[in-house]
Amino acid sequence: MIEKFGNYTLENTDASLRLTYVRTAKDWMDALISGVMGIGSLAIVGAVIFYSLQDGFEWIYLIVILLFGFFSYMKLGEMTMRLIYDPVGEVLRYDKENGIVYWKSSQFKTRKSSHDDIVSIDYHLHTDWVDPGGEYNTLKKRYWAEAELVVENESRYRILAMNPNKVIDIGAVKIERELRKNIKGIAEILSDELGVDCRWKGIIKEK
C-alpha cells in the first residue's frame, strides 16, 4: 500500500514500512533565494575590497566588509543546510521482520531503535511571525510541522519536518489545516504499525 502526504510517501508492505521525502518547489525556491542573497552580499564584499585597494584604507570599508561578509556566510550556510544536510529520500524505515526502526537525523547520519524501546509518536505544529518586508510593515504568520519518536528513557528524536509545499501563499489558515492533516496522517500510520501511542502536542509558538 502506498499513500502520499504532501511530498512524503509511505510505502507499507509485509516486510517493511518506508517513508520517503522529495523536496518541494518551495524548498528549492527558499534555497535559491538564500543563495542569491549570499552571492550578492559576497559580490558587494569583493567590490568594496577592490575599491578600498584603489582608494586607500578607511574604517568604513572594513565595517561594510565585515557586515556583508557575515550576512553572506549566514545565507550561503543556510542554502548548504537546505540542499545538503536536510535528509531526503528514504528518511525512515521500519524493518518489521527484525523489529528495528531506522531514521535519518541528517542526510549523512542514520539512527536506529528497537521496536520494543519506542513509547510513542508525537507530532505538533510550530508557528512564528516574520516580517516579509514592504511598505506596510505587517507581520506574516508562518507554520511548519514536526513528528518525533519517543523512546523508553523519554529521549526524543525528530523523524520528520514538514514545511508548506506551496510557492504561492495560500493563507495561514489553509496552510495550518494542510500541514496538520498531513502530519497527523503519517503519525497515525506509524504509531499503528509500531503499536504505540500517537500524541498530538499542540501548536508551539516560537518567539
pTM: 0.69
Asked if residue 201 lies in contact with residue 124, where contact means CB atoms within 8 angstroms, the answer is yes
Q: How far is CA 22 from CA 8, 65, 132, 167, 178, in A?
A: 7, 37, 26, 15, 17
Q: Give the span between the Cα atoms of 107 and 90, in whole angstroms.
A: 10
pLDDT score recorded for residue 55: 75
pLDDT at residue 203, rounded to an integer: 84
Interaxial angle between packed helices 59-80 and 25-55, expressed in degrees from 0 to 180 and rounded to the nearest 10: 160
Cα 167 from Cα 28, distance rounded (Å): 10
The Cα 102–Cα 150 span in angstroms is 13
Per the structure block, which three cell numbers stand in for 145? 510541522
| Contact partners, residue 130, CB within 8 Å, separation at least 6 | 139, 140, 142
The C-alpha atoms of residue 185 and residue 34 are separated, in whole angstroms, by 31
pLDDT by residue for the chain (207 residues), tens only, comes to: 888 888 889 999 989 999 988 877 666 777 777 788 888 888 888 888 888 877 777 778 888 888 888 888 888 777 777 667 778 888 999 999 999 999 988 778 888 989 889 999 999 988 876 555 545 556 667 778 889 999 887 788 888 888 754 434 445 667 788 888 899 999 999 999 999 999 998 887 766
- Each domain of the chain, given as residue ranges in start order, spans 2-22+88-205, 29-83
- DSSP sequence for 103-157: EEEETTEEEEEEGGGEEEEEEEEEEEEE---STT---EEEEEEEEEEEETT--EE
